[in-house]
Structure 1
């Protein structure tokens, strides 16, 4: 608890510094003065404090609705600010790196904007004022769009996976994946019911949940995963842990999932008989799980034990980088999540600096890797440029994936 308070304090300090920088640049760019200046800085302070306040409220009250409202407002504000901060930085670089273009830009823009009624406070502030105003308005529009993407649009995606020498009885076998749902303060049973309906509509042979299903203790949120009981899959539902399960108290959650009839794979496998074909469904713990629970250290070698001769070997691994080790053990397909595809701007650009496999289908040293962009979201309830997905993976022969 003490270490988390320290982390929250440092995070709030960093956030406050970034908000202050953004505020100063907008005040200068928009020439905010008088009562508007007081109102502006009051709003900035409230946005900074909303993050720690929402955490402490979640600790002090047992009322789920109150916790959810404050968490939602805090994360939405954080999402808006992240976009705004990025655009303000981009504006500053533009003004710094391209000063020789500013006079030409003013001459080019001025007539068109004048027709729209845009008049800057003074000539020298024309471009800074325009860029600041554009950053604020663009951030609002992107936040609204990102919010719509997470709460209204849930994409069903079908991906054909070509497997060399695929057993005839596995042609067309379908695996529906959900990942990174993050059930917690802002994603609850209503959303899970929607996801389950979408899964069942896809008529899967089996369903896999590749980690980060939850984001909070089981004592508070276990009721919200109950709709998963209604998943219909001929060969069952399989689950592996993600990093957020370990932050949330993993052991109680594993018990809850098993009570729902979901098969938990902790460096182990299940053998599925598909007519005359054998499919080994293996699963590893999160790549970093061993740092928190020694006995949960990820082990793709142990996960395949007993299934080495299967016609198809599938590995469920929350983090795509598990493939770097898993490829040694003859898996045909790894199914992962974790990255969220970057989730929203600018994360969906920066993610490529940190992840080898970001989203979609990849081929790595003879093994296929599918990385989901995630079904829910983490933190800010936004998705921009990386839509959420419920994914149906269909096994096909090489050459059939484009048909």
Structure 2
């Protein structure tokens, strides 16, 4: 009985240590996207995608500086930020201002050859939208809120379409109703958007965050809470749907609790082939 008790205590301490440490580290995850619509000029084109920074009381500036430095070393052609800039615990107007000022002071050091693009997430609407929009407008970031942008590289181009947040915003499916002959990347913070309207929209590659990979994910197989009405579907890294891929990032920050289990924070490097 004593040995069993000691083993249980050691296991408890080990996993407590694990989930706290995992929430504070991050990795670079690399994927290749192969599609016949990708123009020749965009072969080896590099996209860095991050989301769910949730900067705040448990996400300190030193860690964000490290993330920005790591991204810059990857030498991105473009950077895409998938929304949710602040931790949900940052609520007062004063705290919102203080944390956003510091966060963007660091984020403005991001470098990409052809620009930095962002969409809004659900947390970006919680008593902070106006302050965040001011920070974005005073930076070099391009906000894609139910808007499209063409990325030109030589004589070739691809299309980015940013959709407003599914829960708190006003997403417009008309932006993706056209079946374009250009390789189209759709960005929406919440991946449920792509399932809710899958028979009405057209795109080639979708990028989303929001679910944090479940944040607590039992060995990559099951997450008790996913922030998605589609259950376990969007805790995966990539969801293949017909001729389209929905790529999910687990995000950089955390939700209400600064813990992770088999859902390590990440920077996503996407290489077009």
Instruction: Report if aligned partners of 1:373, 1:388 keep a CA contact under 8 Å in 2.
Output: yes
Name segments (4+ residues, structure 1) moved above 6 Å.
none
C-alpha separation in 2, matches of 1:206 and 1:279: 12
Offset at residue 351 of structure 1 (A): 4.2
Offset at residue 257 of structure 1 (A): 1.8
Q: How does 1:312-391 map to 2 (within 5 A)?
A: 312-324=183-195, 325=197, 328-345=200-217, 348-351=222-225, 354-391=231-268
Partner of 1:211: 83
Offset at residue 248 of structure 1 (A): 4.2
C-alpha separation in 2, matches of 1:349 and 1:256: 34
- Measured on the aligned residues, the alpha-carbon RMSD in Å equals 2.3
C-alpha separation in 2, matches of 1:224 and 1:201: 22
Instruction: Report if aligned partners of 1:321, 1:356 keep a CA contact under 8 Å in 2.
Output: no
Partner of 2:122: 243
Instruction: Report if aligned partners of 1:332, 1:366 keep a CA contact under 8 Å in 2.
Output: yes
Aligned length: 260
Offset at residue 180 of structure 1 (A): 0.9
Offset at residue 140 of structure 1 (A): 2.1
State whether structure 2 residue 105 is matched by structure 1 residue 233. Answer: no
Offset at residue 170 of structure 1 (A): 1.4
Instruction: Report if aligned partners of 1:228, 1:260 keep a CA contact under 8 Å in 2.
Output: no
Partner of 1:58: none
Structure with more of its chain in helix, by fraction: 1
Label 1:299 to 1:145 Cα distance change in 2 as closer, same or farther (>3 A).
same
State whether structure 2 residue 99 is matched by structure 1 residue 221. Answer: yes
Partner of 2:270: 393
Instruction: Report if aligned partners of 1:189, 1:223 keep a CA contact under 8 Å in 2.
Output: no
State whether structure 2 residue 131 is matched by structure 1 residue 258. Answer: no
Q: 2:150 aligned to 266, 271, 274, which one?
A: 271
> TM-score if structure 1 supplies the norm length?
0.60
The structure, 1 or 2, with the larger RCO (C-alpha pairs under 8 Å, 6+ apart) is 2
Instruction: State the Cα deviation string for residues 279-318 of structure 1 (Å, max 9, x = none).
Output: 11111111111xxxxxx3111323x48x864621111111
Partner of 1:33: none
Offset at residue 187 of structure 1 (A): 1.1
C-alpha separation in 2, matches of 1:358 and 1:345: 8
> TM-score if structure 2 supplies the norm length?
0.86
**Consecutive unaligned residues in structure 2, runs of 5 or more:** none
C-alpha separation in 2, matches of 1:309 and 1:235: 22
Of structures 1 and 2, the larger Rg is shown by 1
Structure with more of its chain in strand, by fraction: 2
Offset at residue 321 of structure 1 (A): 1.3
Label 1:312 to 1:186 Cα distance change in 2 as closer, same or farther (>3 A).
same
Label 1:354 to 1:286 Cα distance change in 2 as closer, same or farther (>3 A).
same
Instruction: Report if aligned partners of 2:213, 2:234 keep a CA contact under 8 Å in 1.
Output: no
